[in-house]
Amino acid sequence: MAMHLVIDGYNLIGAMTDLAGMDLEGIREELITRLLAYKRLKKHRITVVFDGKRSGNLSRSSMNQKGIEVIFSRDGEEADQILKEMAKNKRQGITLVTSDRAVASFAEAHGAITIPSEEFDSKLAYAGYSDIKGITDEDDEGYASTVKKGNPRRLSKEERKRLKRIKKL
């Protein structure tokens, strides 16, 4: 079963340093393009949640852009509320990408795994490079198995679970 990534859209955009000078729509499109490269490499299910609180929409809007689910919150609602709702409902079924401490701690309290946006941005950059070079996930597996694991002391259960999810990214 593929991993389900739920991404705090504007939080991840804030972590991406190379998007200066673009308009908001262009930045969102660039994020979707990078996520598509990542999806081609890893085959994960991806949902991106954006704030739409000043949009005037009376209900949440959801669309599918080339296999990536994009959700905009309704007017007066923050994306954080949707992220918390998804973490509460899906629990261990999602991996949440956000650097918002309140959202991350809420999600972890409900059993979801969280990854900071800055850390995921580096994974996106690698996926973009791999997409350009034509490297597949299977090609990369041999390298990953030769890397030493580090400290032999056993980590906490939550940390082992988090690291296992990150390894799949």
- The arithmetic mean of pLDDT across residues 49-57, rounded, is 73
Residues 6+ apart with CB under 8 A from 72: 49, 50, 51, 52, 55, 57, 60, 61, 62
Contact of 169 with 35, CB cutoff 8 Å: no
Domain hosting 136: range is: 4-168
For the chain, the domain total comes to 1
What pLDDT score was predicted for residue 143?
A: 45
Q: Model confidence over 58-113: pLDDT tens digits?
A: 677 888 888 899 999 888 788 899 999 999 888 778 899 999 999 999 999 998 89
Element (H, E) at 122: helix 117-133
Element (H, E) at 5: strand 4-8
- Copy the structure tokens of residue 46: 């991806």
Q: Residue 8 maps to which CATH number?
A: 3.40.50
Residues 6+ apart with CB under 8 A from 98: 7, 8, 11, 12, 83, 104, 107, 114, 116, 117
Q: Whole-prediction pTM value? A: 0.74
Q: Model confidence over 117-156: pLDDT tens digits?
A: 999 988 888 877 776 766 665 544 444 444 555 666 788 8
